Amino acid sequence: MARVAIVTGGTRGIGEAISLALEDLGFTVAANYAGNDERAKEFTDRTGIAAYKWDVGDFQACQDGCAKVAAELGPVDVVVNNAGITRDGTILKMTYEMWDDVMRTNLGGCFNMAKATFPGMRERKWGRIVNIGSINGQAGQYGQVNYAAAKSGIHGFTKALAQEGAKAGVTVNAIAPGYIDTDMVAAVPADVLEKIVAKIPVGRLGQASEIARGVAFLCSEEGGFVTGSTLSINGGQHMY
């Protein structure tokens, strides 16, 4: 029986590319989404991948959602924590709600999903968790103290949880994408985007499929000796 993978934020953008890549690898994929029912239905109709709606920032919703996936598709052996939101603004303009919303979804979602699935992975002696960080969690970004803090927190979360899973056959890794050609980046004003691309040594935005291929490797049998790592896929924009 095929292993089951949950991809949060899995019906669009980078998440959609990851869902498709894992399906191609032979996983049974459940694509989680938060709110856009129409987009989720279109995704399922087009790909055949089941979509499940819940808020990853809600602890109990993650418990219930993961239990539903397990009951319908089988035990969850792979989780890709891709769901993320932005609420940008300088700290002078940022409200507590803007801070809390981003921390709750982007970082809290990783904890909530791990709590719901990590124990089962350990019991079955096989599992893969891949957390999607960001170049802005590594290098910082003006006007994104909430987003940068949450994404930076993901990198620390990954290293710590990797140590808890290693002996039980559960790997935990992160990918830090640079600027990828998605709806989120398309919303950036053209003149600002031009300046961003000028700072990318390879001279272009990344493609969602390029992130997905990295996730697919980390989730594969071949990725079993990689854990606690952050793979930067950013066209050389940030090197360290």
List CB contacts of 213: < 8 A, sequence separation 6 or more: 21
Give the up-direction half-sphere exposure of residue 163: CA atoms within 13 A in the CB hemisphere: 4
Q: Are 205 and 135 in contact (CB under 8 A)?
A: no
Whether 147 is catalytic is: yes
Catalytic residue, chosen from 142, 147, 179, 240, is 147
Which sequence positions are flagged as catalytic? 147
